[in-house]
Amino acid sequence: MDTYIGMWGWIWVVAFLVLFIGIGVWGMKKTKNDEDFAVARGAYGPITLAFAFAATIASGATFMSVPGMAYSKGFAAIWYPATYPIAIYVGMILAIKLIKRAGDKFRSNSLPEFLGQR
C-alpha cells in the first residue's frame, strides 16, 4: 500500500512540474520586453490587481505579524484573522482603482517607481 501511495505522490509531483514549466514557457513566449513582464501589457483590470495586491499583503501579515500578535495578545487575537480578509479585500477593491489610474498617468510599473516619479 505504501508503494502505491508513493507512486501516486511522484506522479503528482512530476505532473505539477510539467504543468508549471509549460505555463512558464507559454508566458515567456508572450513576453516581449520588461514592461510586458512587469504589467502584462495592462491586460488585468482593477479587480484582478486588487486581489493580487491584497494577497501579497495578506501573505506577509500571515507569516510575520499574526503569530507575534497572537503571542502578545493571546486569545483576543482570534478576531484579527476572522475580519482581516474581508477588510483587506474590500479596501483594496476600493483603493486599487485610484492606484491604477495614478500608475497609468505616470506610466510606472511598480510602487517604488510610482513614488519616485511623484
* pLDDT given for residue 21 in this prediction: 98
Question: For residue 58, what are the domain limits?
Answer: 40-117
- Predicted model pTM: 0.45
What is the predicted pLDDT for the residue at 15? Answer: 97
At 3, the amino acid letter reads T
| Per-residue pLDDT tens digits of the chain, which is 118 residues long | 567 778 888 999 999 999 999 999 998 888 888 777 777 766 777 777 777 777 777 777 777 788 888 889 888 888 887 887 788 778 877 887 787 788 788 887 777 887 888 7
Q: Say whether both 64 and 113 belong to one domain.
A: yes
Question: Same domain for 56 and 105?
Answer: yes
What was the pLDDT predicted at 108? 79
Answer for the pair 20, 13: CB distance below 8 angstroms, yes or no: no
72 with 112, same domain: the answer is: yes
Of residues 59, 30, 53, the one with CA closest to residue 114: 53
